[in-house]
Structure 1
């Protein structure tokens, strides 16, 4: 099939517009004290890591689909199952298996448009949270997150309060589910990315600098900026290797993401063992 230049230009403009409409993650740079606490826990967890135990870490996962009245019934059980499958494929190398414990649907216009740190978020999670422990996962899929944010999640903490436990879990735009309307972010990578934060992983461009600790993982090259699209060969810090555009903890299009590194695996399993398992 032959396309003229005007068609190709229009298609490119449409893709660029879709990419600029969304922000991969609403989680800002963690505070210095939070970084320090996670680093201390990661070091202690690595020293005590039980590999055999981590090889079969099963995480009960509770899915909550929250929609406005106008979007009720839009998101199917098949999409939820595809999301769980995408997560399991991404985390297989870490030894994590996510099992769908339950799915519930809620129609609430305010909760469907909740944003990070708002009363709506807290009220929603207070009402819907089902995790019985800090090692169980609540996933919230909201139909109308404002501002184009695709999702956010909370890092683990060493001594979680009742409030920490209430807010724990990951919030995702429902249209980021596999087959959703948020192309090119509709293959399930948003939840996969946010779960990385739940396990203690930073963005690969943490610190947005070519020097310093970055994401505190030795085998991810230094990276100054988040990635948009899938620009093969992108290299924002010369000499350290090309940017990790295929890494789940970047901001690339869903189809571009397909990997964690060995260092990320060690960090995530260490922190899960230290901060979440059995708590």
Structure 2
């Protein structure tokens, strides 16, 4: 249990409130938004179960948290391993009140010439991994009448070329969460969907150089191309968790464009014709593949590459 009363934790820098003393599970917690959210939730008194592929990065995140945390090295697509982790979380921390399906990887490159195995792995982690996370932790959430937060993306409705696996997986994750919400609402379990735009993480470390990311960003209005800090996103996510929000938009203006979603596919197709079509095919092939060290770590582990 967290040390001291909520008031004492507030004096030491914690915030207390509705999250205080409860258990949160965050997948993909070793880097980026997952790590930032773990820090945010810990500062508000939550006890954390950090799940991810790299135990070293998880341990570094845990070491910097003000509250209690446990690290679990696990592949979110491995249902048996995830079920064992869910059992251990309940045994070591107690049943989770909040579960955040944040684990995700991304890859770029032409669909036809790209690695089919990598395409399928992106969908497997981002969509099937989220479903597995929900499946094994639903007994926790049923006991606590808790909250499941699916991390989605503007890729769910942007349909960006050269990122077909990522867009398909995020659209699928959004639809999954919407279906799950309707199914389990009578049990008192809430489901939220977080829509993230450009965010400063390891996944987007080459945002200023990668030809596909550059072209996509350059086609957007200046305000839409702004890169949010992971900590800024984490604060909005934490607030959404406190409210058990149906949707969380990061940045907030994304809420205003939701009604315009039917317009995005033709607009993106126009960008593909005017910008992506000009890119050097050799450069596209050279830069194709998984994005960021987190995705690289997952791809290596999935193929047992050292």
> Which structure is higher in RCO with an 8 Å CA cutoff and minimum separation 6?
1
TM-score, normalised with respect to structure 1: 0.31
TM-score, normalised with respect to structure 2: 0.29
